[in-house]
Amino acid sequence: MKRADVFHFFLIAWLLLGVAVPAQAQSDPAKIIQDTTSAVIARVSKEKTALQAAPAKMYELVAAMIFPHFDFNIMSQWVLGAAWKTADEATRVAFVGEFRKLLVRTYATALLEYSDQKIEYPAAEPSRNPKTAVVKQNIVQAVGKVLPVVYRLHQDSGEWQVFDVEVDGISLVKTLKSSFSQILNEGGIDALLKTLKAKNQDLGA
């Protein structure tokens, strides 16, 4: 699979995780993913025309209903690597904000491209660590090809949050880290922040 195709499927897989579920369901990460997948598909299918006509509403949907399930601090630490350790608190906060904004706008666009692929769930495997979980999901394409998706979650303050998604054997966090590494190596985190801000301005225009 080409890198561009993999990244597109990362977007679809993340977006399928979407809507907040009742607090009592938070103890079962597999149920969270299954229930929220169904809810997001139903919501977008019902409102697709209206959401296509008003991108700002799609941004709001993504920000409010999808990303509360993700641990952006942990993701940012892994994506930045050593640069996170040397950055001050203000820079870290700024990066998490721009990183999250970039994904909100990119995912909002990708979500509208979802076309009712069939979703299957292989049997869950027990985790050796009670604070982490792995949930598998298969997206069945129109031609019958199965795209395997693996969600990696951990418990934070009693709630399960995603810290990485693996699609067709490729990690989202590792992919983003590789994408950002050249900018970090050449100009440091300040250069990366400038790049992300410019990208967000372009997407918001």
Residue 155 has pLDDT above 50, yes or no: yes
The fraction of the chain above a pLDDT of 70, given in percent, is: 80
Answer yes or no: is pLDDT of 10 > 60: no
Beta-carbon contacts of residue 110 (< 8 Å; ≥ 6 apart): 8, 11, 12, 15
Banded pLDDT at 93 (limits 50, 70, 90): very high
Q: Which range scores top for mean pLDDT: 40-44, 59-63, 126-130, 140-144? A: 126-130
Residue 11 φ/ψ region, left for φ over 0, alpha for ψ in the -120 to 50 degree band, beta for the rest? alpha
User: What confidence tier does 22 reach under pLDDT thresholds 50, 70, 90?
Assistant: very low
**Domain layout of the chain by residue ranges:** 3-204
pLDDT averaged over every residue in the chain:
80
In total, the chain counts a number of residues equal to: 205
Q: What is the pLDDT of residue 117?
A: 76
What would the mean pLDDT of 137-166 be, rounded to a whole number? 86
Mean pLDDT for 177-181 is 93
Q: DSSP 3-state assignment of 158?
A: coil
- Report the C-alpha gap between 155 and 97 in whole angstroms: 22
Assign 92 a pLDDT band (cuts: 50, 70, 90).
Answer: very high
Kindly provide the residue ranges of all beta strands, DSSP E only, lying in the chain, ordered along the sequence: 118-120, 132-140, 146-156, 159-167, 170-171
Output 14 or 158, whichever has higher pLDDT. Answer: 158
pLDDT for residue 77? 95
More confident residue, 3 or 108: 108
Residue range 3-204, CATH number: 3.10.450.710
The C-alpha atoms of residue 109 and residue 167 are separated, in whole angstroms, by 19
Name residue 138's beta-bridge partners.
120, 148
Res 19: pLDDT: 42
**Residue 21, pLDDT score:** 46
Residue range 46-82, pLDDT digits in tens: 888 887 888 777 777 777 666 777 899 999 999 999 9
CB 127 within 8 A of CB 153: no
Does the pLDDT value for residue 200 go beyond 50? yes
Lowest-confidence segment of 32-41, 152-161, 173-182, 188-197 by average pLDDT: 32-41
Gap between the Cα atoms of 193 and 159, Å rounded = 29
Using pLDDT thresholds of 50, 70 and 90, give the confidence band for residue 143: confident
Contact indicator for 40, 17 with CB cutoff of 8 Å: yes
